[in-house]
Structure 1
Amino acid sequence: MRSTQGMNAGSLKPKTAPSMRSSARPRSGPVFERSAEPVANFGTFSRRMPMRDLRTIAWREFRETALTPAFLISLVAMPLVLIVVAVVSSGMTLSHTEPPVFGTIWIQSNEDFRAAFMDRIQRGVKAESVGDLPPVTVDFEVEIATEIRSEPPDELNPVVVQIPDSILDPEQLEGDIRLTLHDALGRPQVDAVETALADTVITVRQRQAEVDPTLIDRLRTPPSIVATRLSAEGLTAEDSQSRKLRALVIPIVLMGLLWGASFGTSAQLMQTTLDEKANKVVEVLLSTTSPERLMMGKILGQSGVALTTVGVYGSLGIGALIAAGKLGLILDPQLLWPLAWFALAFLGAAAILAAVGAVVHDQREAGNLMGPIVALLGVPVFFIMPIAQSPHGMPASIASFAPVIGPYIMAMRSAGEISVPAWQIGAGLAWHGIITRTLLVGAGRVFRIGILSSGAPPKFTTLLRWLIRP
């Protein structure tokens, strides 16, 4: 590769590019170039990497990603879209009405049941079907027929019911309700009919047992409970609703925010690396710095993008808590631990995706490698609810030490109501620190060789050779 003179990238000072020699065999495998001069090592980068270069590369990466109209628009537009969707969906839910049940309902039973059923449906019936949140009220505009109908239901006679006397007798309580419906009835209407029939059966049973249904309802009304929690110092702690919010909602929201910022920004790092490699910009950058320095600077720059994303969305969450008067829920030093786990999670994901961006040459090759990576990094998302419900169970504790995904799980556990045991925090920081450093070292070796490669993407055995050989 000829030296590049008079070119610059950002504010990097150009210098003569190091001589390159091919280390791949001509007959097979990817063609790449490798620097002949010594390169920095991640174990000693604090002594041998000029911080000025790192700051310059990091600022360039941050500027090219975060200070662009597309990123700023998406950063502002996404919260607005979420707010609009929440408001519109809430309005649709509150204003949603179901069409009434109309026609003739044929009930084969005694007169007491028919009268009780008519009284029940006149008050409207809530449909408790899955997906109706909150339940919708279905009205009835029907007549009750007393004859026995032998024909199947139709649009004007949508419901035919057969109720044996034994199911109404408090001494027997035997038999089944035979309900035949016309297919034109929707799911909420069917639920309303079933609910009205069940309520009417219970009412008739209570009357035949000479029990006042109103008294039964009053006796079954749950009492209101005013709970006061005291800490070890005798101070009043948060109420039960706040505990539920602290134990479930905050860890889940925080986990989603940190995972989204980490994975999304790491994917952006892979994309920028791939674009710079395709546009030959990386050759200009490597004329001013080493591959390891370039990769680390890009990771630091994207970390600024991730922190910006977390800061913007975190500020919105804090504002919502202030508006609800629940700011005290996050005034807990324990909530600082998720930031430490976020740093480890981001560095690990960024190292993997930076290496992917260095060895591939187009989007198709990147897509082939992204499948297993997305499957791995997406594991914490599938276990959000089990971990939130049992953050200190054995499965959650074991998963906290899983490579790559463990920091995400520890971040979620640390945001819970009960503190994570100190030994797990210490052991987790040490273990995941070693894992993260190993990922950075391995990614640096792959990045150093793959960033200037061309031709077919390397095979798995070739990647292993790059990882093993310093």
Structure 2
Amino acid sequence: MNHAQEASRLSFFQAAWVVARRDFKAILFSRAFFFFLLGPLFPVIVGALAGGIGGQVQREAVSNTIAVVMSEEDNAAMLEARKTAQEGIGGFPIMVTLSRVDNDEPIDARSLLAANDYAVVVSGTPEAPVLTGTEAQMNRLDGPVTLLAAMAAGNAPSNYPTVTRNALATTAAAAKSDRIRTAQAGQLLLFLLMMLLAGMVLSNLVEEKANKVIEVLAAAIPMDSVFFGKLFAMLGVSFVGIAVWAGFGGIIGALAGEALPELPEPALGWPLFILLGVAYFSMGYLLLGSLFLTIGGMATTVREVQTLSMPVTMAQLLVFFLAAFAMTNPGSPLELFAAIFPLSSPFAMLARAAQSGELWPHFLALAWQALCVAIFIKAGATLFRRRVMKSGKGGRGKKGRLVSPIPIEPQ
């Protein structure tokens, strides 16, 4: 039995596995991939440091502002106590800025917090202060407020007042608004990873076209299997890269501690949200990668690749903006369109996972995306086969396949 007959007996998935294993090993153990992994770490580290510093500045500028809503005399006493504490106590744990609110009408603390960037509101009197705010902010500022109230009442340091807490409950509207931040973060991370990693598919195919490897593969096994194997090999390599970056991210997160912002929990919970994020990244990567493989098959030079890939890149930006805008109005025709359109579906559905607790739409979306991946691979392989058959200079068999086989061992 010759090699051509042996190769012809391989099934679609066996042939794809041979190609995937070959590409995975070739890329994973190359020096270029090592430097590719290091490349994004430097801007990520710089961005994390800049974000930590910016977040600290924002917390100092906004979150430490306390609104004092008392009588004019008590307000003045609290402001004077704050000035004395800041000047006389070195290393004051939290530099509190008191904002005096002058208004003859009674002021509702909850409305004041909703309309302004105050951390908490202090009302009542220095002898019996009332603290209004979220539990986290009240826990953080309870000590300074107690000290300042005692100083304003003239009782410090022997007698400190009891602070009455008025906790703000999280409303459904606030929870929905918070989950939008999680949806935005998930979409942005998904987009950056796809755009960063999908380019490997294009560069790999162009390189193999230049040294005629792809034509030799096309002579031995169906192009559908070649495309399928290459895409899943690149997907596997991408997961290796993501694991490395996630490891470094975990180290940075452990060192940063509370300096990193916390994202609200998505509607489906973090475990399911992360699992769906992996699934939607896989589908989005395969969809975009199949387009890049088609572009690589149409191009003959690196310049042509750059020219042809630019419209796809710009279209992907528009798709990302479409999904980002559509998630602000769940259930609208625009959001449904973004969830159905193949290239925007992973972004739109990941945002829905953060905002909605329904699970069944995700099974439907993943099945639809998998079908689109199969269609894209089939169309790209067909187009590539026609171009190779048209431009190839070697002999051809009766079925239009190049006749220079390579040995393929079934696994």
The answer to whether 1:224 aligns with 2:133 is: yes
8 Å Cα contact 2:288/2:343 also seen in 1: yes
Superposed displacement of residue 292, structure 1: 2.3
> Is 1:268 paired with 2:206?
no
Among 41, 45, 49, the alignment partner of 2:12 is 49
1:83 alignment partner, one of 39, 42, 45: 45
Cα offset, 1:346, TM superposition: 2.0
Matched with 2:30 is: 68
Instruction: Quote how far apart the aligned CAs of 1:403 are.
Output: 2.8
Check the 8 A contact 1:57/1:297 in 2, yes or no.
yes
Distance 2:301 2:204 in 1: 12
Taking the aligned partners of 2:356 and 2:381, their CA distance within structure 1 comes to: 38
Q: How far did residue 90 of structure 1 move?
A: 5.2
1:20-69 CA-to-partner distances (Å, cap 9, x unmatched) read xxxxxxxxxxxxxxxxxx989xxxxxx83252x43332122223333333
Aligned position for 1:401:
340
Deviates more, 1:383-392 or 1:316-325: 316-325
Deviation at 1:364, TM superposition (A): 2.5
Provide the C-alpha distance between the structure 1 equivalents of 2:177 and 2:270, rounded to a whole number of angstroms.
Answer: 14
Q: Is the 8 A contact 2:205 2:296 kept in 1?
A: yes
Residue equivalent to 1:450: 387
Q: Name the CA shift for 1:257/1:312 in 2 (closer, same or farther; >3 Å).
A: farther
Distance of 1:246 and 1:212 partners within structure 2? 34
CA separation in 1, counterparts of 2:192 and 2:348? Answer: 14
The one-letter amino acid paired with 1:224 is: G
Match of 1:129 in 2: none
What is the rounded CA distance, in whole Å, between the counterparts of 2:252 and 2:327 in structure 1? Answer: 21
Aligned to 1:438: 375
Q: Structure 2: any 5+ residue segments left out of the alignment?
A: 59-82, 84-98, 113-119, 122-131, 137-168, 393-411
Determine if contact 1:269/1:302 at 8 Å carries over to the other structure: yes
Q: Give 1:286's aligned amino acid.
A: A
Residue identity (%): 19
Name 2:310's counterpart in structure 1.
371
Q: Deviations over 1:359-390 (max 9, x none)?
A: 21012322332233223322232245434544
The 3 A distance-change label for structure 1 pair 258 and 453 is farther
Contact 1:354 1:443 in 2 (8 A): yes
Amino acid across the alignment from 1:343: S
Greater RCO (CA < 8 Å, at least 6 residues apart):
2
Q: Does 1:344 align with 2:306?
A: no
SS of the residue corresponding to residue 400 of structure 1 reads helix
TM-score, normalised on structure 1? 0.51
Matched, 1:295 2:227: yes
Pick closer, same or farther for the CA change 1:216–1:85 going to 2, 3 Å: same
Give the conservation status (yes or no) of the 8 Å contact 1:359–1:453.
no
Q: Is the 8 A contact 1:276 1:282 kept in 2?
A: yes
Structure 2: distance between partners of 1:84 and 1:91: 11
Read off the aligned partner of 2:386 and give its amino acid letter. I
Structure 1 residue 438: Cα displacement: 1.6
Aligned residues, how many? 295
Segment drifting more, 316-325 vs 262-271 = 316-325
Q: Is the 8 A contact 1:57 1:298 kept in 2?
A: yes
Measured at CA, do residues 84 and 429 of structure 1 come closer, stay the same or move farther in structure 2, by a change above 3 Å? Answer: closer
The one-letter amino acid of 1:63's match is K
The separation in 2 between residues aligned to 1:245 and 1:314, in whole angstroms, is 27
CA contact (8 A) 2:16 2:229 kept: yes
Root-mean-square deviation over aligned CA pairs: 4.5
Alignment of 1:299-318 (within 5 A): 299-316=231-248
Residues 401 and 428, structure 1, Cα contact 8 Å, conserved in 2: yes
Deviations 1:110-151 (A, max 9, x none): xxxxxxxxxxxxx9xxxxxxxxxxxxxxxxxxxxxxxxxxxx
Unaligned runs of 5+ in 1: 1-13, 19-37, 41-46, 97-122, 124-198, 228-237, 456-470
How many angstroms apart in 2 are the aligned matches of 1:444 and 1:39? 18
Match of 2:350? 411
**Which amino acid counterpart does residue 180 of structure 2 have in structure 1?**
L
Q: CA distance change for structure 1 residues 354 and 412 in 2, over 3 Å: closer, same or farther?
A: same
Aligned equivalent of 2:96: none
Distance 1:265 1:82, change over 3 A: closer
The structure having more radius of gyration, on CA atoms, is 1
Query: 1:224-263 to 2 correspondence within 5 Å?
Result: 224-226=133-135, 247-263=179-195
What's the CA shift for 1:400? 0.3
